[in-house]
Structure 1
């Protein structure tokens, strides 16, 4: 693991389902999702047909960043249940023929983790060097404005350094000030992490999704970053993304943790990673990770900042995804996703969450699942769940959103303008409770939900979707079944068609004597196209679509209806 033979790379034929435990299902009525709730809904996932469940963090945590600030790597947060409940859940997942993957967050810990509590106790503590501690800038005193060791900004707003009054030094936190960065230069840190990973694998889990794993190697000189015009802080990313020892650390991790174990999966979340680096990370011969999460395609509608929202240009999206398909065609592997806990709902973002919601959700799912790579379904995506109608800042819970609002308004921005961006982009859009039925709290909880349920659950819910054979749920079920039964979906090559078309996304997949043609109208107006090599495809079988199709329809001058998607197969 990674393994060199296609037969052993089972994850190429698999579909992963991400669960955000806090919002999936509440088993004890306290308004927060938990392990008992997840266990009660496993049959939903088995019916959908997914192969792997990925759990976002369930470890003990102060919940400053929704569990990505871990205070104990070897236990379960009481909010979610107990270790006994986890073991029972793991057994139930395996009984249904599925695998379970844990989130691994080792770029940083919580500031309440015992390692950091020791580290900050004194400058000569044995764990002092487990984190990044530095004195004030030369010639300045700790606490002076601008005295931080360098000018890096935190991804969650503000500086990336926090002054600790006990020792008068600063510690690095690329995220929240309660998420101090581990110092991977220290071999004791690495061995402690590997020991923890082996402990979980010995317990029976099937792998890890590794949070911002390509941040763990920093340029140890910690130079200043470039300060963009008008920016308060410098951009440190060139000095901690894909850093100087990154490949060395992952290869060491493989030797120490994964070598000699079979049937596992390792996924590296890697913001800022390039195609060239990803090819190295996922080359089976290098033994680093099986696949990476890249972010380029979900930044296609960003301006200079995360909160600067631009209209989607389909040509740009095709260029990005096409480049990743081509770059990892011979060596390496793609993760395919539209949604996760950090992204707004794709049907609201790139589709239509109004009259065409069902067609748009099906189109987006069809496109994603027919690319080459392993698809990820985020909870509620299979229902076509949408962004939430947040009214005021009091409706938000996400630290990134709250910090941005406070900073932007504090600098004089119009609060309504800031809120408008939050409603579109906030991570809370992905974190509203799973919509199981049309009851008051969508079947998520008998208590008061920790964040409001989207009111559209009256019409958009699992119970209704399951009963409707034409629902988004059953379309996703058919897409997953197609991956399991048609080898060209998992193993075929990829060839982009109509790369310069502004409305239609089209490509082919080929494996042996089987060819697949995928056509999708990405927008709400009809689109007429001439299908490349139309005569060859005229006798192809329509495998799946999201509208009724006349079998005698010619492909030469084909009109695709709003958000229409089709998959043809030619043997």
Structure 2
């Protein structure tokens, strides 16, 4: 593949679907595959051309399906393999593609492979997972190292039967597969990849893609004096055999012209990112870097206060993800939301009633003006926001949220002040906000479940459906949805410039405005976004101030020359 080759996934717009929360077709309170099929025409109408389905595999659901017990089966409340085959066919029939989540760093502890692995030290599959003997310190049994898990606590779980520890970078119920074992890798490729590629899927979002090669497993540096367990992301990510493992995967994927987008945390070196996504390296097509969505997080993700970042920091994070395609054969992604993030309007705009729609439109304009493959998360196109502060902790279902709240309670002896701060942070950053049912209409359950169903939705629907639902927005030309449709069409109309153009931040230190240019072989545009809740003078930097400009699009009807409204975004074409 050359630098200029236009693969289908480069110009694509991907719509991410979280099955449990998208649409419930049978009234059991849980979204399902038939619910997705019923709304494929709606999805297509937005202007996207690929859908990404979060894990729909059979699972005990300890981590919402990222703990897979059978790659070749579907979680029964979602449907069957036959329903998946129908979803693939119906998606293709509408001229769209479909990608799945590929979760192969770990399985569920209920997977048949792990059940065999833990049955005895001599079982043929013992080495399919990562087992280690205990360390003893002054006669006390300790885990093999001091690594902190992604959901808190040690990454090691003691197994009484075989008297060894197994590694789990996430929940104890999510044991890590041993990628060093060739037989294990071959089984993964056959069961998790080829099974679905043969059924017509067009690629994968690859979960925790840089964790397969763990490297040396010594202790992590002590960065949290108050804990026995230490952050170890730089130890277990980007290990020495990653190039080899991804090369093997790519050989399979290339046979199907399948795309990959890898989840790539803890990789601060841009050169390492470029190596992962360079066309000539044949590893991954693109990755999700977390520079942007990690803005404002604390040492523990939630150990922070809401909006603990500046606009220059936000812009700098975007610049890092945009820069990897400058003078390289690499590719990048654009996203503000996914199943692991709170809602972007609440985080980066304003969910105050008067600013919610303007900031939703401004963020849509910004995303559509950035280079790379664009990813939209269900409900983002409607301007859905975080659920209210008044909701109590019982509404937080995610293991990440509940573990953090319990940790704060334990560390502070249930300090009222500390728990209030923890809840404020969760209300701003928790993954739960992305997982509430989609608001389809007003009425019972916001149209997520059939009106006559007796079962409550698995998560509480938002209380604001009267102001934010898909049915109303489809006929409202001033809605966030209508503006997303307009912006995606604008992105298609100016594909070279907006999708492939070179990006430059023209005023990095500006605390109120985000002004960036896009250039492509003589074409030039400038985007201006007002990230404040008040009107601002439109003061363009010298580099573009004297250029003749034509307004391509504004997020505000009847915009004023020389003045930006609160949360207004514009794109100008420059002569």
TM-score band, normalised by shorter chain:
over 0.9
Cα distance change, pair 69–51 in 1 and its aligned pair in 2 (3 A): same
Partner of 2:497: 488
- 2:291–2:321 Cα contact (<8 Å) kept: no
Equivalent runs, 1:142-541 vs 2, <5 Å: 144=140, 147-196=142-191, 197-255=193-251, 257-262=252-257, 264-274=258-268, 275-310=270-305, 311-331=308-328, 332-354=330-352, 355-389=354-388, 391-411=391-411, 412=413, 413-414=415-416, 415-446=419-450, 447-486=455-494, 487-532=496-541, 533-534=543-544, 536-538=546-548, 540-541=549-550
| CA shift in 2, pair 1:47/1:165, >3 Å | same
TM-score with structure 2 length normalisation? Answer: 0.94
**Aligned counterparts of 2:218 and 2:350: Cα–Cα separation in 1:** 44
* TM-score, reference length from structure 1: 0.95
Structure 1 gap segments, 5+ residues each: none
**Equivalent residue for 2:568, pick from 561, 564, 568:** 564
Q: Secondary structure at the match of 2:260?
A: strand
How many positions carry a matched residue from both structures? Answer: 558
Aligned-residue Cα RMSD (Å) equals 1.6
Structure 1 window deviating more from structure 2 (187-196 vs 343-352): it is 187-196
Offset at 1:13? 1.1
Tell whether the 8 Å contact from 1:226 to 1:236 is kept in structure 2 after alignment. Answer: no
Rounded Cα–Cα distance in structure 2 between residues aligned with 1:468 and 1:513? 37
> Unpaired segments of 5 or more residues in structure 2?
none
Shift of 1:236: 1.8
Structure 2 residue 129 is matched with structure 1 residue 121? no
Structure 2 CA distance for aligned equivalents of residues 529 and 462 of structure 1:
33
Aligned mates of 2:91, 2:187 — CA distance in 1: 28
Contact 1:409 1:418 in 2 (8 A): no
CA distance in 1, matches of 2:213, 2:36: 35
CA-CA distance at 1:42 after TM superposition: 0.7
CA displacement, residues 49-104 of structure 1 (integer Å, 9 cap, x when unaligned) = 10110000000000000000000011111110011111111111001111000000
Asked if the contact 1:152–1:225 (Cα under 8 Å) also holds between the matched residues in 2, the reply is: no
After superposition, give the CA deviation of every residue in 1:371-427 in whole Å (9 maximum; x if it has no partner): 111111000000000001252221111011111112211222433332222212211
- Does the 8 Å contact 2:334/2:372 carry over to 1? yes
Shift of 1:139: 5.3
Change in 2 beyond 3 A, CA 1:440/1:140: farther
1:272, 1:296 within 8 Å by CA — same for their partners in 2?
Answer: no
Equivalents in 2 of 1:478, 1:118: separation in Å?
A: 53
User: SS at the partner of 2:312?
Assistant: helix
